[in-house]
Structure 1
Amino acid sequence: MKFIDAYVKSPFAGLAPWILMAVVAGPGRFEESAAAALGLALLTLWVGTRRGVPVHALEALSVGYFGVLAVIGLLAPAGVIDWLDLWAGELSNIVLAAFAVGTLIVRRPFTMAYAKDTTPPEHWDTDQFRRINFAITGAWAFAFVVSAISGGIGDAVLHDNDNFWTAWIIPIGALVFATAFTEFYPEYATGETTSWAGAVDWLPPFVVITGIVGWVSDEVSDTVGITLIVIGVLASIAVRRLLPETAKVTEPQ
């Protein structure tokens, strides 16, 4: 199936277990979240190998990391589990950030392996191919660092690991940014588009949704919720007017 092939050949195959753990994790659910993430990591690895997709470093990291967490969940004393209930999310973000930054330092950005699955071999050694993957990996590294810092502030400063802003909005926004950049930048770098709209058009709807969710859930005041909605709507109009989508750039005949 095309959807499954696209999934196992994209960075989301490696990121999905980490996202699942972030969603499932919560007070008293460390063992369940680690086991669920490990199960998804193993399933992704199995599906990928069955479809002839090579094992990528991020998938290997996912299996190893969540395997260790699952064993800790089974064997560690209650005090360690309590600590991980609070800090497992930030620890995971730190591991991801270190992994992404490390691949940049050794000049083998982790997204390059996925890009090779869908790009003809003659492009692999080009400067453009490398530049695109350095940029995309950098965007993901930035998102992981932001998520780790945000979660750390929520836990260590606010003493609230379920804070609306530090546990949800900021980390989700960082991941949505990285996802949008992953979709946008290859076309921009290759000249298929000259507009930056694809890099920022996710932000106004995200602000609107943040305002609605925060308002309905009473996580923000009526004033803040309405203000966010208005800002998001106005920003959406501004993006459409100031950064219109451009037609694909073609070479003159």
Structure 2
Amino acid sequence: MPESSGRTPMRGPPGILWGFAPLIVYAVFAGSSVEQAKIALLAALVAAVVAGCHDLPKGRVMAWANLAIFGLPLAALGLFGQAWIISWMNVLVYAGLAAVAFGSVLARHPFTLQYAREMVPKEIQEHPGFLTANRFMTLAWGAVFAINLGLSSAAVMGPPGYKGPIVLLTFLVLAAGIAFTLWYPSHVRKRKGAAGDRGGPGQR
């Protein structure tokens, strides 16, 4: 039975995972001093360009969002000396990512759809089930970013001793989002396959 006849497969892992490379690079290099922050932001910006070399020309919103999320704070810190950005950087990053995720759903163009369409046959790309699956995945990432936005805000405004554990918790939440992204496409395929088997000729 061809995939286009009622089934809505999603293949993984999605290329969207490359979009989180700048965030991971920033976290590795981030520090409390101005120089450390500049190095971390510059490294993240370079990662955004490298990871997005194929996505930027295609106009993918996450690739361009990464340039803005890390490029604008670097300019504000390096050119205008806005040192307050160092403490609030994680808040700004997750606020920007959450805005991209939820904004793309509201605009009826979930950002994961830009990646997923390259992983399925053309006849599947406008299938309602395929679009629903991508809305769900984008909303899931929006939830991840919103949770980490709240945690990052608490790390800045809460007692200093809590900052380390809270930052670690944000990485665990992000890891859960990545695990979900790796698992969800195969789950959709299996669910659609099971539905197709139940409706097959051998069923009464």
TM over 0.5: yes
Contact 1:13–1:59, Cα closer than 8 Å, also in 2: no
1:162-173 alignment, distance < 5 Å: 162-164=163-165, 166-168=166-168, 170-173=169-172
The secondary structure found in structure 2 opposite 1:11 is: helix
Aligned equivalents of 2:114 and 2:74: distance in 1? 27
Structure 2 CA distance, aligned partners of 1:67 and 1:157? 27
1:150 aligns with 2:151: yes
Residue segments in structure 1 that go unaligned for 5+ positions in a row: 1-5, 195-247
Cα gap change, 1:41 to 1:183, in 2 (>3 Å): same
SS at match of 1:63: helix
Extract unaligned runs of 5+ from structure 2: 1-11
> Which residue matches 1:103?
104
Matched, 1:35 2:42: yes
In structure 2, C-alpha distance between the alignment counterparts of 1:39 and 1:67, rounded to whole Å: 9
Tell me the equivalent position of 2:30. 25
2:58 counterpart residue number: 54
- Count of matched residue positions in the alignment of Structure 1 and Structure 2: 185
- Which residue matches 1:89? 90
- Structure 2 CA distance, aligned partners of 1:145 and 1:69? 20
TM-score by length of structure 1 reads 0.66
**TM-fit CA distance, 1:43:** 1.4
Q: Which runs of 4+ in 1 moved over 4 A?
A: none
TM-score norm. by structure 2 comes to: 0.81
> Is the CA contact (8 Å cut-off) linking 1:136 and 1:178 kept in structure 2?
no
Taking only aligned residues, the RMSD between alpha carbons, in angstroms, comes to 2.4
Alignment check: 8 A CA contact 2:22 2:48 kept? yes
TM-aligned CA deviation for residue 139 of structure 1: 1.0
CA distance in 2, matches of 1:161, 1:27: 16
RCO higher in structure (CA 8 A, sep ≥6): 2
* Correspondence for 1:245: none
- In the TM superposition, what is the alpha-carbon distance from 1:69 to its structure 2 partner? 2.0
Contact 2:61 2:100 in 1 (8 A): no
Residue 185 of structure 2 corresponds to residue 178 of structure 1: no
